[in-house]
Structure 1
Amino acid sequence: MCTAATYKTKDFYFGRTLDYEFSYGDEVTVTPRKYPFQFRYMGEKKSHYAIIGMAHVVGDYPLYYDGINEKGVGMAGLNFVGNAVYQEVSDDRENVAQYEFIPWILTQSASVKEARELLGKMNLVGTPFNEKLPSAGLHWIIADKEKAITVECMADGLHIYDNPVGVLTNNPPFETQMFLLNNYMNLSEKQPENHFSEKLPLKTYSRGMGAFGLPGDLSSASRFAKVAFTKMHAISGEGEAESVSQFFHILGSVDQQRGCCEVAEGKYEITLYTSCCNADRGIYYYTTYDNHQITAVDMHHEDLDGSSLSLYPLVTGEQIRWVN
């Protein structure tokens, strides 16, 4: 289970939580412009936009979970198990395997508009990367500073939705998630007024009661509502440090703690990492479950005209600043 969000102050920010019971060995990965991307059905792409994101690298191939490109477009894949149904390979379409969908879009899209044009020509197919890594059931958020869309491939075809809240979690499908926000239209950042009955002298007894009824459980529908509310009301200054800090607070509202979501006996889903990308500057910030200090990787400190991946293993141990 995961949560993704967008945020905008002076710059545009994009990121996600990755919630799971174990890690595949994730690394912040910079793919430069001349890295030869081998696509299963679409051949080799030798020149393209550079990408930075979180990936599991297998045999020098980056399997991206999320990332941004040098043009400011962000994309993330989130679990969509039970609803994701991929298409069949077709001779008259551009066939893109699920595992290469993120690089297919980010290597050649300078905007969400260009990404939509690519989506109009492609089939999203379920060909696995290899026998040990079968296709994952996912849906995706694609965003730039102007807008966001959600992409879902289901039994009745490929769906592309405008995403006005800039948030994505997991099931149910995106249209249903948006509809369920109607349940919370009475919520507010302000203190509530008594509309229950003018005959009763009801009063607020605590701060924050305007958001009374905002869900706090770990289900994907509740996380969607919680992050949508938090993001839509979040206020930050224009500076980088305060913008990044606020973004981590937005996604921190749905952190998963070990012990609260059991997926098998003795196994618990946790927030393995939280990312925040400054898509305008090409900086990938992250924290991990056991490391709350923000770590940053700047793609522009790499040779973006090179041909080799740059890999940064995650800092996972807690960093404590002693002051005495």
Structure 2
Amino acid sequence: MCTAATYKTKDFYFGRNLDYEFSYGDEIVIACRNYPFTFSNGETIQSHHALIGMAYVCDGYPLYYDAINEKGLAIAGLNFVGNAHYNEYKPDKENIAQYELIPWILSTCENVNQAKCKLENLNILNKPFNENLPLAQLHWILADKSECITVESMSDGLHIYPNPAGVLTNNPPFPYQMFNLNNYRNLSPKSPVNTFSKELNLDLYSRGMGALGLPGDLSSQSRFVKVAFTKLNSISGDSEYESVSQFFHILHSVEQQKGCCELENQQYEITLYSSCCNCTKGIYYYTTYNNHQISAVNMHNENLDQNKIIRYPQIQKEQIHYQN
């Protein structure tokens, strides 16, 4: 289960919570401009836009969960179990495996409009990376500073939806998530007026009562409502510190704590990491479950003309600043 969001002040920001019961050993990975991306259809992109994102590197290949490129385009894959559907090879289509979608888009597209054109002829293959890694059932959120879309590959075809909310969680499919927001159109960050009855003098006994009814549970549909309300009503200054801080507050409004979502074999789903990408400047910020201090990797501090990937392990240990 995961949550992704967009945010815009002076710069454009994009990020996500990755919620799961264990980590594969995720790292912040920069794919330099001349790192060769070889795809399962036989195509190799030798020269491309540089990428930075969170990935599991397997056999030297970065399996990205979320990433941005140097042009400001961002994408994240989120669990879509039971609804995601991939296909066999189709000769009249652009055939790309599910795990290749993020680098396939970010390596050549500069914005969402270019990505939409590329997606129109896409066929996502039901091909896992290897026999030890299951075929992840995902849908995707793509965004730049001007536009946001959701991409879902289902049994009835590939769907590309405008995403005016700029957020995404998991099930149900995106149109149902958006329709469900109609049930919460009465919510407001302002104090409510009494519309219950003119005959009763009902008091405002607390601040925040305009948001009565806002879901607080950990289900994907409730998280969609909660993060959409939080993001769309968020206010911050334009500085980098204020913008990044506010973005993490948006994501932390729907984070998962160990013990609250129990799975089988005494395992628990937690927010393994939260990311915030400054898509304008190419900076990847993140926190982890065991380290709340914000860490950052700036892709432009590296030589991006190389033909390799650059890897930064997550800082997992809690960093506490003692003042005395």
Give the TM-score taking structure 2 as reference length. 0.99
SS in 2 for 1:218: coil
Q: Which runs of 5+ in 1 are unaligned?
A: none
What is the distance in 1 between the residues matched to 2:282 and 2:48? Answer: 16
Matched, 1:41 2:46: no
Q: Aligned residue for 1:242? A: 242
Does structure 2 conserve the Cα–Cα contact (< 8 Å) formed by 1:42 and 1:96?
no
1:69-92 CA-partner distances (Å, limit 9, x unpaired): 000000000000000001221111
Matched, 1:166 2:166: yes
Q: Calculate percent identity across the aligned residue pairs.
A: 65
Q: Aligned residue for 1:205? A: 205
Q: What's the CA shift for 1:145?
A: 0.3
What is the distance in 2 between the residues matched to 1:296 and 1:162? Answer: 30
SS in 1 for 2:54: strand
**In the alignment, residue 195 of structure 1 is paired with which amino acid?**
T
1:148-191 CA-partner distances (Å, limit 9, x unpaired): 00000001000000000000000000000000001100000000
**In the alignment, residue 285 of structure 1 is paired with which amino acid?**
Y
Q: Aligned residue for 1:186? A: 186
Q: Aligned residue for 1:54? A: 54
Does structure 2 conserve the Cα–Cα contact (< 8 Å) formed by 1:42 and 1:95?
no
**In the alignment, residue 54 of structure 1 is paired with which amino acid?**
M
1:81-140 CA-partner distances (Å, limit 9, x unpaired): 000001221111110000000000000110000000100122111111110012100000
SS in 1 for 2:263: strand
Matched, 1:215 2:215: yes
What is the distance in 2 between the residues matched to 1:281 and 1:294? Answer: 17
Aligned length: 324
Structure 1 segments (4+ residues) deviating >4 Å: none
What is the distance in 2 between the residues matched to 1:125 and 1:320? Answer: 45
What is the distance in 1 between the residues matched to 2:61 and 2:192? Answer: 53
**In the alignment, residue 79 of structure 1 is paired with which amino acid?**
N
**In the alignment, residue 35 of structure 1 is paired with which amino acid?**
Y
Does structure 2 conserve the Cα–Cα contact (< 8 Å) formed by 1:95 and 1:125?
yes
What is the distance in 1 between the residues matched to 2:125 and 2:70? Answer: 26
Give the TM-score taking structure 1 as reference length. 0.99
Q: Aligned residue for 2:282? A: 282
**In the alignment, residue 276 of structure 1 is paired with which amino acid?**
C
What is the distance in 2 between the residues matched to 1:120 and 1:291? Answer: 40
Q: Aligned residue for 1:310? A: 310
What is the distance in 1 between the residues matched to 2:124 and 2:131? Answer: 19
Q: Aligned residue for 1:103? A: 103
Matched, 1:269 2:275: no
Q: Aligned residue for 1:84? A: 84
